[in-house]
Chain A
Amino acid sequence: MVAITSPAFKENAARALADPGLQKALGTAKGAFLQRRAQAVANLPEFEQLRNIGRDIKNHTLANLDFYLEAYETKVKAAGGQVHWCSTADDARAAVLEICRKAGARTVTKGKSMISEELGINAHLEAHGIRPVETDLGEYILQLRQEHPSHIIAPAFHLNREDWEADFRRLHTDLPPDRVFHERRDILAEARTKLREKFIAADVGITGANFLIAETGSSVIVTNEGNGDLTQTLPRVHIALASIEKVVPTLEDACNMLRLLARSATGQDFSVYTTFSTGARREADLDGPDEYHVVLVDNGRSNMIGTEFQEMLRCIRCAACMNHCPVYGAVGGHAYGWVYPGPMGSVLTPSLVGIEKTGLLPNASTFCGRCESVCPVKIPLPGLMRHWREREFERHLTPAAQRTNIGLWAWFARRPTAYRWATRAAIGALGLLGRGKGAFHSLPLAGGWTKGRDLPVPEPGGTFMARYAKTRRGGPRA
């Protein structure tokens, strides 16, 4: 599994804010996905109804997940495929390695897959002498840079064009060092040429799965580049990695989810390639893999069922939540310190690796609610982050000073008279202290807060409650 740096979120975030390259990349990217999504949604008047249906399909599937997984397996077997059930990341890594070994694999091509990142498939294959080659353009450069994705659909979200050019010059040493990249498409063309050789040489192709279909035993991948299709078509063996919550009952259910996915993700009406794979090559086929394996992974998901976090299992990994998150937009994906960044990660990561190490993530939110408002399956992300904060507090994982302050606030909040008295006293004192200043640039005991912003000096006229009471009595408005 990928090493976790979530406990250092604050340090990670501070470093991210001070990183000019990252800030430039985030600035370039800002708005691109948002505008395209807004346009795609505006062009489909039924979008809101499709969201409700999507939520209901996922809820229905999760309530009957055992049934649909067994139905799915039956159909995969009928089409000549195999399903490998894996409880843990260890099980899944072992299953993938065994399939690769049986195939005598030396190189393995890979389509973009977040579950592969979660399981740490690449490191495991490398440790056993098998070479994994990432073929998604973004994943390809990250593998060259030995980095992890910073975004679940645009892995190289944190890079600028200059980074691509520099890395390609550094690592594609067989090409003339003084070649010129006039356009982004020149970078794309070089990667295409380089990866063609890999697609042809690979013995096994590993993809993820956006959906599994119980009705037909199919796995579905959604891509724009075509790398996922080359990965699963050319080698002798295709392995689809999928977590258990990816299953939906029928093709009609999948259609509804697909109408939501691309619009929410990249703002396309439909991705370029949406591909349904069902079993291995048929007798008369001229191409396609001889073996088809599905590595079906739990890795902590079944523990979420029956808890308030079950709703998170509706997630279809579109990334709309992080695209619309002001915190993600400021610090990027790596600061979150594990595989899944942004609001969906702040809910999912504590579920999968424990709140002990990840308590800062559900706190890294302003609760502005944009994530929930754009989620295609209406996951109440801020509410779920709040549940994690409560659990963290209950388990005494929050720092002592924070606990004391929250306790103090709670004492006053439960006693309205004392609360009003205390706020009146505080406002009065601040008003006196700051007379003629306009704003405080620093305050004792609140240095962390005033470091990044000023606190306006309270206007004369008292607290909101005092003014409200005065207005209701018919007095002049302050």
Chain B
Amino acid sequence: MTKDAILGAIRRGLKRGPLPADQQAMLGGRLASHPRHLIPARSRLPRPDQVALFVRNVEKEFGTVERVPDLDGVPAALAEYLAAQNLPSRFVLAPNPEFEGIPWADRPLLAFERRRAQPTDQVSVQHGWAGIAETGTLMLPSGPGRPTTLNLLVETEVVVLRASTIVGAYEEAWDRLRAESRDARSGGFMPRNIMFVTGPSRSADIEQTLELGAHGPRRLHVILVDDDPAALPPGDATPPPPAAVPGGPAAPGD
């Protein structure tokens, strides 16, 4: 059998047979405890700074961000964004239970369907599961409430993300997934697919020059819902920092 042939060849190279039981138990323990390695210091910040780092990094990667105080602010923010970009007010909405409370009727011109995306859809509104400040990355696990096609088939993807779900490093997001997610099929915590999205689609295949809008969305807009009082920027005394220049540095010293 091919599998045995490959494993046999590996073991011959390693000059040993199958690992003894105690070694296997040790490696099994490493898999079960999944120890963390070095986590870069850049995201080890107080909550408001961590969220601000996330925002700056999204902007650095050619995305855009708007902060709203609560879910009630989403329809207006979305309608104004779509109008400003000269986009239609029709979109495909992630059938996510968290979106049930959004008062869409506030903006009657917005028209949407809750389903997976089709190739003809131009705009999607996706549910953000977590944001990773380290690189301005959205974590989007697949599931009935978060179809993968919403991240891919549209020209413009709008992601509604709660500030309380922003973490510093990828490892923190994995630990939350391990704690909160159960996959009926495997008994594990991984859904079929998890996309980590950092900015809109791009390609540098033509003369190594970056161009936005390859096969995925040309625009990525984050509506950040400030549901985390600890993550709010400090009071009115300090003016908000200027928006990061796309492609430019994300943090002082970068």
Quick check: is B46 within 8 A (CB to CB) of the other chain?
no
Contact for A78 among B9, B24, B37, B186, CB less than 8 A = B186
B5 and A50 contact, CB distance less than 8 A: no
A287–B116 CB distance below 8 A: yes
- Pairwise interchain contact A53-B119, C-beta atoms closer than 8 A: no
Is there contact, CB below 8 Å, between A161 and B13? no
A136 contacts B205, CB within 8 Å? Answer: yes
- Counting CB contacts under 8 A, is A367 at the interface? no
Contact A259/B194 with A29-B208, A161-B206 known, Cβ cut-off 8 Å: no
Q: Does A154 contact B (CB under 8 A)?
A: yes
Given A250-B34, A255-B170, residue A270 in contact with residue B216 (CB < 8 A): no
Instruction: For the complex formed, measure the closest distance between the CB of A297 and the CB atoms of chain B, giving whole angstroms.
Output: 9
B107 interface residue (CB < 8 Å to A): no
- Residues 152-200 (chain A) with a chain B CB within 8 angstroms: 154-157, 159-161, 164, 183-185, 187-189, 192, 195-196, 199-200
**Do A226 and B214 form a contact, CB below 8 Å, given A160-B207, A214-B31?**
yes
User: Which residues from chain B contact A315 at a C-beta distance below 8 Å?
Assistant: none
B149 surroundings in chain A (CB, below 8 A): 233-234, 286-287
B201 adjacent to A226 (CB under 8 Å): yes
- Give every chain B residue within 8 A of A287 (Cβ-Cβ): 116-117, 142, 147-149
Residue of A nearest to B187 (CB): A78
Inter-chain contact A216/B190, CB cutoff 8 Å:
yes
Q: Would you call B147 and A270 a contact (CB within 8 A)?
A: no
Restricting to B1-26, which residues have a CB under 8 Å from any CB of A?
1-3, 5-7, 9-15, 18-19, 23-24
Question: Is A374 part of the contact surface with B, judged by Cβ < 8 Å?
Answer: no
Q: Which of B6, B11, B209 contacts A298 (CB 8 A)?
A: B6
B119: A residues at CB distance < 8 A: 196, 199-200
> Once the chains are docked, how many angstroms separate the CA of A50 from the CA of B38?
7
Identify which of A67, A70, A87, A304 gathers the most chain B CB atoms within 10 Å of its CB: A67
Q: Does residue A288 face the partner (Cβ distance < 8 Å to B)? A: yes
Interface size class of A (residues with CB under 8 A): 35 or more
| A184-B206, A272-B201, A302-B10 given; A224·B214 CB < 8 A | yes
Partner of A53, one of B38, B134, B205: B38
In the bound complex, residues from chain A placing their C-beta under 8 Å from that of B115 are 286
Complex Cα distance, B207 from A217, in Å, reads 36
In angstroms, how far is the closest chain B Cβ from the Cβ of A169?
15
The yes or no answer to A392 lying at the interface (CB within 8 A) is no
B215 to chain A, nearest CB (A): 4
With contact pairs A255-B171, A276-B193, A279-B185 given, residues A28 and B208 touching in the complex (Cβ less than 8 Å): yes
Q: From A215, which residue of chain B is reached at the shortest CB distance? A: B31
Cβ-defined contact, A270 with B135, below 8 A: yes
Interface residues on B, range: 35 or more
| Chain B: minimal CB distance from A327 (Å) | 19
Residues of B within 8 A of A217 (CB): 186, 188, 190
CB distance from B202 to the nearest CB of A (A): 5
Asked if B206 and A137 sit within 8 Å, CB to CB, the answer is yes
Q: Is the CB of B197 within 8 A of A273?
A: yes
Please give, as numbers and ranges, the residues of chain B lying within 8 Å of A66 by CB-CB distance.
7, 10-11, 14, 18-19
Taking CB atoms, residues of chain B closer than 8 Å to A75 are: 186, 188
Cβ–Cβ contact A298 & B9, under 8 A: yes
A305 to B6, CA, bound (A): 12
B-chain residues with CB within 8 Å of residue A157 when the two chains form the complex: 208
Are A67 and B13 in contact, CB atoms less than 8 angstroms apart? Answer: no
Knowing A215-B34, A269-B135, A270-B135, say if A85 contacts B6 (CB, 8 Å). Answer: yes
**Counting CB contacts under 8 A, is B254 at the interface?**
yes
- What CA separation (Å) do A287 and B192 show in the bound complex? 10
Residues of A within 8 A of B3 (CB): 73, 85
A46 contacts the other chain (Cβ, under 8 Å)?
Answer: yes
Q: Mark A15-44, 1 if CB is under 8 A from B, else 0.
A: 000000000010011001100000000011
Residue contacts A-B, CB under 8 angstroms, 7 given: A45-B40, A156-B206, A159-B207, A188-B214, A216-B190, A274-B137, A282-B192
Residues on B lying within 8 angstroms of A by beta carbon are 1-3, 5-7, 9-15, 18-19, 23-24, 27-28, 30-31, 34-38, 40-42, 57, 61, 95, 115-117, 119, 134-135, 137, 142-144, 147-149, 151-153, 169-171, 174, 183-209, 211-217, 249, 253-254
Question: Top 8 nearest A-B pairs by Cβ distance?
Answer: A226-B216, A305-B13, A306-B13, A225-B214, A302-B9, A138-B205, A286-B116, A250-B34
